[in-house]
Amino acid sequence: MQLFLDTTDTATLRALAETGLVDGVTTNPTLIAKSGRNMTEVIAEICEIIQGPVSAEVTAVEAAAMIKEGEKLAAIAPNVVVKVPLTVEGLKAVQTFSQSGIMTNVTLCFSALQALMAAKAGATFVSPFVGRLDDHGAEGMGLIQEIRTVFDNYDFDTEILVASVRSLSHLKEAVLIGADCATLPPSVFQDMFKHPLTDRGLDAFLADWAKTGQSIL
Ligand code: G3P
């Protein structure tokens, strides 16, 4: 399971990269707008902080323009993944990127048949948005199970990148299903380390150790 961070906050990214457990980053036009920074600059900085896949999304809607934008984004750094919306034009562009060895992340996926088309187009990653499906009254994690089954049925190489993750329960279900990757808000990533019984147990160990008066060094 590769754990990506869904953020353009480079200060938080630097801090969490110190854990050694951040495998990549995803961004989108909303996160770029939120950063208030130039897209090329922030993507270049993220690619210096994280050596793994860094998704940068095109904003054109026709294949030819998407390809031009994607080639520019891919030139920023070798670990840039070109993010493309799951549309007919987007999947035309993905086929071109696939032939030229540019990694792609097909985003805004909301059905198993959409994911099938992304895999057939040669996408490196497909991003089903579980939180937004939940918001819509659907069962987001059910889609992950369906896509897992479809990809295993036909032995597709495309990796399932669970996105729009809102909670640890989303992530737990994703890992139990066997999704390949998940992209997390930094807060969810930080919550993964935490459990009250761990804190309580450590406090008790250290209190008992202190009573021995010993030191290991
Ligand atoms: O960036 C892709 C996805 O994780 C965004 O999801 O619903 O939090 O905007 P959302």
Distance in Å, CA 112 to ligand 1 centroid? 18
Residue 210 confidence (pLDDT): 98
Beta strand pairing call for 24-26 and 54-57: parallel
Residue 192 confidence (pLDDT): 98
Residue 76 confidence (pLDDT): 98
For the entire predicted model, the pTM comes to 0.96
Paired residues of 212 in beta bridges: none
The per-residue pLDDT for range 78-91, each reduced to its tens digit, is 999 999 999 999 99
What number does the ligand 1 atom closest to the CA of 55 have? Answer: 1
- List, as one string, the DSSP characters of the chain: -EEEEE---HHHHHHHHTTT---EEE--HHHHHHHTS-HHHHHHHHHHH--S-EEEE----SHHHHHHHHHHHHTT-TTEEEEEESSHHHHHHHHHHHHTT--EEEEEE-SHHHHHHHHHHT-SEEEEBHHHHHHTTS-HHHHHHHHHHHHHHHT---EEEEBS--SHHHHHHHHHHT-SEEEE-HHHHHHTT--HHHHHHHHHHHHHHHHHT----
Distance in Å, CA 156 to ligand 1 centroid? 24
The per-residue pLDDT for range 107-147, each reduced to its tens digit, is 999 999 999 999 999 999 999 999 999 999 999 999 999 99
User: Residue 198: exposed, middle, or buried by beta-carbon count in 10 A (0-12, 13-18, 19+)?
Assistant: exposed
Distance in Å, CA 107 to ligand 1 centroid? 9
Annotated catalytic residues are 83
* pLDDT range class, residue 151, cuts 50, 70, 90: very high
Percent of the chain with pLDDT over 70: 100
Residue 148 confidence (pLDDT): 98
Mean pLDDT of 185-212: 98
All structural domains of the chain, each given as residue ranges with its CATH number in brackets, are 2-212 (3.20.20.70)
* pLDDT range class, residue 187, cuts 50, 70, 90: very high
What number does the ligand 1 atom closest to the CA of 107 have? Answer: 2
